[in-house]
Structure 1
Amino acid sequence: MPLPFLTADRADDTADDVPLPYEDRDRWRRPYRPGPWRVGAAALALLLASYVLFAAVIIALAGSVSGAGVVFGIAVLIIGAALRLLRMGVWVSPRGLRHVAFLVTRTVAWEQVAAVRTVQQPVRWLGLPRAVQGQALVLARRGRGADLMPPLLTTHNADFLARPEAFDRAADTVEAWAAENVRG
């Protein structure tokens, strides 16, 4: 059985006349796959949620329905956090660029984007306070609020840690989307 989500490069989807391969142009899409650190953390959270759900069933069978409801609610929160963790990243569409963080989602229309470029700067290691030297994909906005956007992608976040080639491909793809949609 073929598993298309495991293939990194799909040569049959690319055409010579189309600079960016996509099937449905109006859909929001992440131009890269989630990294192993992000997927591993989400898998561990879902494993923890399965144990918590099993505990909720045992508590319900023991006769404490209200306690089971509280434990079930905790399991739902863990599952929601794991799904949000997998959704984090940069999403693009013809309407704009969307940066999805754990608690905040920022959407910028292409009309507000001045440039998207890769810069060498100190970046946070896996989102922790420790900063290391790395590369970041930054968004330059037009008008006011230009300095409010955090880096879109970094070489040391959960998607690209120890995968510099994947960062380069993802940054080039987001920059290509920006070049195609940002006008003068």
Structure 2
Amino acid sequence: MTNRTITTEATARSETTPELATVEANVKAEGGEATAALAQARDRVATIRDTVTAVSADHIQTVDLQVADATEPFGPDIDARYQATGRLRLKCVPETAESVVADVTDAGGTVETVQFQIHDQERQQLQDDALTAAMERARQKAERLAAAEQLAVGDVQNVTTQDVDGATGMERIVEDALDGPDADLSPTPIAVSERVEVVYELTEE
């Protein structure tokens, strides 16, 4: 005889405040010679390093420094022959992200993104908490449905899980807001959602 079962779905969410902010920025410089453009770009990178006081030197990384020829296909649309670009990554606590963005901008840099994150251990805890809450909701739903038929919910027969992070997932990236003077860079909670589909055995009460 085939055991009777019931299948329910549930979703739960767990959230926490960000622990880290990463600011991606760049500087650009032009020149008639590649070496001159590169030297100027390096100077602007150094200026940002000196200007941003909220971030220690070991948390400011120059991730790329390159030069492009305006006469080449797909080259930059500039008057000078060469354009040098330096890219930086600055890591800070979320509460100082706004002042870091302001310092970078004042020093002649352009902020590309601000990314709020949490550490891997905290991410795993969020997922565990959301999954536990989703399983509890799925069982409660199954028990309500079973009680309507004078039945009881038994053991779990099968579980399928799915991440449903969406727009409130593990990382919040600020891009469009950086275009305006009233950019909102205040850290908001990072949330994780988990969805489960659970198959339970049905038993007589």
Using structure 1 for the length normalisation, give the TM-score.
0.26
Considering fraction of residues, name the structure with more helix.
1
Considering fraction of residues, name the structure with more strand.
2
The higher-RCO structure (CA 8 Å, 6+ apart) is 2
Highest Rg: 1 or 2? 2
Using structure 2 for the length normalisation, give the TM-score.
0.24
